[in-house]
Amino acid sequence: MRSFLSLAALVASARAAVDILLPLYVYPINDLVKPYDGTVDWTAAIAAIDAHPDLTFNVIINPLSGPPFASEAGIKIDWAKWIGQINQRPNTVTLGYISTLGTVQTNPREISVVKQGVDTYAAWTTADGWDGVSYDIHIDGIFFDEVNTDPAQLDYYTQVSNYAKVETGIVVLNPGVPVNTASYSLYDVADAILSIETCYTSDPNAPQDRCPSGTYIPFTPASLSALPSGAAQKAKSAIVVHDFYDDWEPYQPAPLSTLQTDINAIVAQGVHSLYITQWGYNESFTREPASVETVSNLLALAQGLSSGQPL
């Protein structure tokens, strides 16, 4: 029995760990219009990163939907302190958000504009925050959103991915749906592809900007059958689920037990990364049960990591 357990432990330790892919889109200031203090979400994310040093957090930095910025200096001073805190942690990867959606939605954005966005992030080194302190704001890679994997666009996304890898180092693509099999070569150039991005809720009265009725399939473990069958492609796949509740009004969050079941099912697939958020990508990271700490803890538990605390 001892030798069997040792072999099992060896196999488990050799398996690639499933990361967190954290869409930390909230602007890190106190929004006096809503009002909402965006620094609350950032503080919660940093606390989860510190509590789980055996997890890697791929943190998507999304200032105003990405470059080109009307005021890059304004972005830097607002975000410097918070990006700097993320970069101080050894178990983090920072990804700069860039939309690839063109003004005509069937076509991607002008490639020169996308490359300009990559160049903007690649040039970030240090910046002063409002406190006058200089922070490390380097970006480790690029998160390309609104990716179209139709074969007609394969050359475009291969070009921008290769360009970003040279300029920054890491590339994550987000089609949000399974990759067209004729474009599977994108798995060779990307470090990860977000191929399942959807709502958990099936409530038709959910916020329509996030979960428009009739346009998505609510997430269940059965949704994972859409992942690639090949181990290499599956290991580069990511899943993000938002709006984790049964009913919006009156509000009824989904159970913690369901959250654990879903995370365990995703981990069993051997994917690159995951995240489940209570609402959207703003004002969500302290809301239970799918807070950033609870999701991180359940992911650690699912992988037998020492930072996972029993429920």
Number of domains the chain contains: 1
Give the 3-state DSSP-derived string for 125-159, with helices as H, strands as E and coil as C: CEEECCCCCEEECCCCEEEEECCCCCHHHHHHHHH
Does residue 68 lie in a domain region? yes
Q: Cα–Cα distances in Å, from 291 out to 35, 84, 113, 256? A: 20, 22, 35, 11
Does residue 9 lie in a domain region? no
Q: What is the pLDDT of the chain when averaged over all its residues?
A: 93
Gap between the terminal Cα atoms of the chain: 29
Residue 11 — very low, low, confident or very high, per pLDDT cuts 50/70/90? Answer: very low
Does residue 309 lie in a domain region? no
| Whole-angstrom distance, CA of residue 310 vs CA of residue 298 | 9
Residue 103 — very low, low, confident or very high, per pLDDT cuts 50/70/90? Answer: low
> What is the average per-residue pLDDT within 182-195?
98
> What is the average per-residue pLDDT within 148-166?
98
Q: Which amino acid is at 248?
A: W
Find out whether 187 and 233 touch, Cβ atoms under 8 Å.
yes
Give residue 283's pLDDT.
85
Q: Which domain holds residue 224?
A: 16-302
| Whole-angstrom distance, CA of residue 278 vs CA of residue 232 | 30
Find out whether 224 and 209 touch, Cβ atoms under 8 Å.
no
Does residue 213 lie in a domain region? yes
| Whole-angstrom distance, CA of residue 227 vs CA of residue 77 | 40
| Whole-angstrom distance, CA of residue 41 vs CA of residue 285 | 5
Do strands 36-37 and 30-31 pair parallel, antiparallel, or not at all (unpaired)?
Answer: antiparallel
Q: Which residue spans within the chain are E strands per DSSP?
A: 19-24, 30-31, 36-37, 57-61, 92-99, 126-128, 134-136, 141-145, 170-173, 192-199, 237-242, 245-247, 252-253, 273-276
- The SS3 assignment for 253 reads strand
Does residue 43 lie in a domain region? yes
Find out whether 254 and 7 touch, Cβ atoms under 8 Å.
no
Residue 76 has pLDDT above 80, yes or no: yes
| Whole-angstrom distance, CA of residue 68 vs CA of residue 120 | 8
Residue 113 has pLDDT above 50, yes or no: yes
| Model pTM above 0.75 | yes
Does residue 1 lie in a domain region? no
Does residue 94 lie in a domain region? yes
Residue 148 — very low, low, confident or very high, per pLDDT cuts 50/70/90? Answer: very high
Domain containing 245 — which CATH number?
3.20.20.80
Does residue 272 lie in a domain region? yes
Residue 106 has pLDDT above 90, yes or no: no
Contacts (Cβ under 8 Å, ≥6 apart) of 111: 156, 159, 160
Contacts (Cβ under 8 Å, ≥6 apart) of 264: 298, 302
- Tell me the chain's radius of gyration from C-alpha atoms: 19
